[in-house]
Every structure is written in C-alpha cells, then in structure tokens.
Structure 1
C-alpha cells in the first residue's frame, strides 16, 4: 500500500526583540513635517522678498540712478537692497531647515538651529538696548539716521516713497523733534541760504507733510502744497532774508503741515497700541523658540535612530 504523508504544519516563529528594535523608528512624522511646513512657508516668503528687492534694484538701474555702495549708509538706506538681503537670508536659512527636515540631515539642522539662535540673540539685544537706554537709542535715530534719510530723499525713489508713506500714515513731518526743520538738511529743501539754492523747492517740505495734500474735488495730489513752509516759519540763518521775508511770517506752519516728528509719532502710536505690539513681539519670539525646539528635537531623534 502507498503511504500517505500528512501535510506539514506551519509553525509561527516569533520575531525577536532585537529584530523589532532594528525595524523601529524614533523619528516623529509630526515633528518632521511640521518643521518642513513652517520652513517651506518662510522659504516662499524669502523668495518673494528677493524678487521684490531685485525688481526695485533693476528699476533703479534702468532709471539711471544706479546702485551706489560707497559706504555703509548706502546699504542701510537703500530699500530695494535691504529687502533683497533680508529675503536672501530668510530664503537660505529656511531652505536649510526644509531640506534638513525632509532628508533628515543633521548638519543642515545644526546650521539652521545656529542661525535661529543668532537671530534670537540679536533681537533680544536690540530689545534690551531700547528698554535700558531709550534716550541714547532715540538720540542715535534722530541724529545719524535722520541725516541720512533726509539727505538721500531725492536720490533713491524707493526711499522717497517709503518716507512719504510714513509721513502720510503717521501724520508727521521729518524724523526728529525739529519736525519740518529737518528738511533743511536736504539740498533741494535747504533754507539756510536760499539765495545760493537754485532749487524751486527751496525752503519747502515734501507734499507728504501737508495736512491737505489731496484736492477733494479732483482727487489729485498737490505736490507744491509744502513750498515755502520753512520760509514762512522763519527757518533761515541769513538775517537779511529774515528781514526781507518778515511779511511772510504771518502764516503758521501748523495750518499747512504736520509739526510732529515721525519718531515721536511712532512712539505715540506704540503707546496707544502697546498690547498689540507686545503681543506681536511675544508671538514672534514664541514662534522662533518653537521652531528651534522642533529642530533640536528632530536632530536628537535622528541621532538616536542612527545609534540603533
């Protein structure tokens, strides 16, 4: 007789503890992709800022103004160049965070964390300086920065538009406590010796200083509304001109232009919106700390995964 063999039974062999540890992962998908999302968003913002800055620089070049970099002031007060530099920094730092998180690269994550720490310390240092030495910071802003802003007003169209926007939105004129008298530092608005200044804008201020620069009937901006304001206020160091223009001093500049400096207006606005400004500052700081925590956590998880 033919022997019939019974089918063999399949015996389940349990996976060893060491094999389970070898297949386990210590990298949290939530941490990884949350960090990637944040940095991808900032990467897009950085790219947009680079585009805006480069467009402004190209526009300056095409209009014949060019990009002058003779000293540090030319960099600090060139709006297009500053926007492009800030955009480039955000672009490359966030790119390191994106690729570091996506590819689980600890070198890029360490570079990203270092950059965030440097930014946070710089912001903290500026905040401490403003809080501990407010008078010195205000003196620096109303001195060196005021001079450069005023003197370069006509040289850079982007800076000019920025100053006009600030003066219109904050209802101010000039930057320091001297208000509209600051504009005498500009060669076009200079009023310390009008007989030597051939500019048609001499002894005036930009239209953005005017209280009623826009004609309500036509909707057009009267760019000549600030002409002669400094002369009417007697802003001149030439005694002959003071005597000659004495009949013009009957007009009060307060009737035509804003007589508060933009730094003082900005301080008043911050005091009125203190809780909003403080909330934004704390929110930005917490966001930076949160992203730094994600980066260090992901870096630690990657190192732990490598060790196993």
Structure 2
C-alpha cells in the first residue's frame, strides 16, 4: 500500500472570473465618477450649486441631467460589481446582476415600443425640439447641444427654419427689439469651407428672404426629418452598437451569476 495520501480538491472560486469581473466593473465605476464630476463642474460653472432651486427653473431640457443619470447608474453598478467580486459578496453580486438585467429589460422594452409607436415617438421628438428651441438662450449647455445637432445633421429647427419663431429672440413680430429678429442661430448656416472661424451673425435677417434664397445661406430641412434619414443611412452601425451594449450587459450578468454559483459551492463545503 502506498504511503501517499490522496487529496481531493473541493470546489473553489474561479480567480479568472473574479478578477475579470472586478476589472470589467472598475472601468465603469471610474467612468461613472468622471461623468458625475463633469456634471457637478458644469452646474458649478452655471451657478446651479449655489442656487439649487434653479435646477427646476430651466424652461427646457438641461443636458447635464444626462451626465447625472448616466454617471449615477454607472457608478452604482460599477461599485456593486467591483466590491462584490473583490469581497466575494453574493448580495452585491446579486444586486449587480438584477439591476443590470432590469436595465437590459427596459432597453429591450423601449426598443420594441419605439418600433411599434414610431409615429408617436416622432411627434414627441418634434415636441421636444420645439420646446427646447423656446429655451435656446436660457441655458448654455442646451444651446451648445442644439447647435451641435443642427450642425451635425445639417438642419434647422424641428421641421424647418420657421420653427425659430417660437423663440422670443428670433421671432418675426414687430414688437421684437432683438437684433436676431427673423433670423436663426449660426448653427443653421451653410458652412463656407474657406472660413476657419464661424460667423455667428450669418443667420441675421435670413428669414426675411424668400425660401429659395434662404437655401443659399441656411439649412432649410428640419432636424426631425434629418435625424430619421441619418438613422436609415446608419441603421447597421446603430444596430451594431445596441447589440454590442446588449451583449456586454448579458456577459456581465453571466459573469456575476457564475461567481455567485462558485461562492455558494465553496460555502456549501464548509
């Protein structure tokens, strides 16, 4: 009889899964913290932090909320995933996988509803753009967002330049004393390739011209139609991005559940 003793190896937690999940989440944790820091800095620059009530005073959408919500979700999920994996805490890992699963379900539901009720979504997009056209001068971040959208999609207003009549600075009423009366923001202007610095006054009085003349100076197509066209032209890329995000979420859920199973198996042998 051999004097050697046989050692039976019991279940153990996979180091690969544990540290991969940790590394996977620390990136999102740090990104979430960065998003929150950017949002707080933006609000500090606008004086919102010194006057909290001004958060609800904005007439339109404040883009900083995108950073706040995205950063908060990424920070919470990243924290739960990191600490849960590092400390082998099944409660945090379950929270991580359930929360991530809920987000995935909401994204899937939103995608299906957007396809089924696309006409309603189009109306809401139109309402959203027009509502924020009214508040164009009320918030610098909103102004930059609208300018970026109009420049990127080569558009002006929700359905056309005349949507800028909704803004008190650009409307064509005789009582409007603004120099921008009957004009449009510079982001509506057709860009001259020879100009390095944009002419911020290029949209002045442009809507006093005939519609055919306007086409030489500004974009006359609305942003709703241009956004739809952009989606159709880039459908494969957009779909690919959403599929990649979905696979990333499923991968994270599987890693967390696998680690929970390993931890339970080890504890069952104690």
Q: Same fold (TM over 0.5)?
A: yes
Q: 1:14-29, aligned counterparts within 5 Å?
A: 14=5, 20=8, 24-29=10-15
Give the distance between the partners of 1:46 and 1:184, measured in 2 at CA: 39
If the length of structure 1 is used for normalisation, what is the TM-score? 0.80
- Does residue 163 in structure 1 map to residue 146 in structure 2? yes
Once the two structures are TM-superposed, the CA of residue 67 in structure 1 deviates from its matched residue by: 6.5
Give the distance between the partners of 1:265 and 1:65, measured in 2 at CA: 38
Contact 1:50 1:88 in 2 (8 A): yes
In structure 2, list runs of 5 or more residues that go unmatched: none
If the length of structure 2 is used for normalisation, what is the TM-score? 0.91
CA-to-aligned-CA distance 1:237-275 (integer Å, 9 cap, x gap): xxxxxxxxxxxx486211111011122212212211221
Q: Could you tell me which of 136, 142, 147 is aligned with 2:130?
A: 147
CA-to-aligned-CA distance 1:79-123 (integer Å, 9 cap, x gap): 123312321221111111000011000110111112101211111
Q: 1:63-74, aligned counterparts within 5 Å?
A: 68-70=54-56
- Does residue 184 in structure 1 map to residue 165 in structure 2? yes
In structure 1, list runs of 5 or more residues that go unmatched: 1-10, 233-248
Higher relative contact order (CA 8 A, sep 6+): 2
Q: In the comparison of the two structures, how many residue pairs are matched?
A: 268
Contact 2:12 2:266 in 1 (8 A): yes
Q: Could you tell me which of 234, 242, 257 is aligned with 1:281?
A: 242
- Does residue 223 in structure 1 map to residue 200 in structure 2? yes
Structure showing greater Rg:
1
| Aligned CA distance change for structure 1 residues 277 and 62 (closer, same or farther; 3 Å) | closer
Contact 1:39 1:94 in 2 (8 A): yes
Contact 1:80 1:158 in 2 (8 A): yes
Give the distance between the partners of 2:50 and 2:205, measured in 1 at CA: 30
RMSD over aligned CA atoms reads 2.4
- Does residue 294 in structure 1 map to residue 255 in structure 2? yes
Q: 1:242-257, aligned counterparts within 5 Å?
A: 249=210, 252-257=213-218
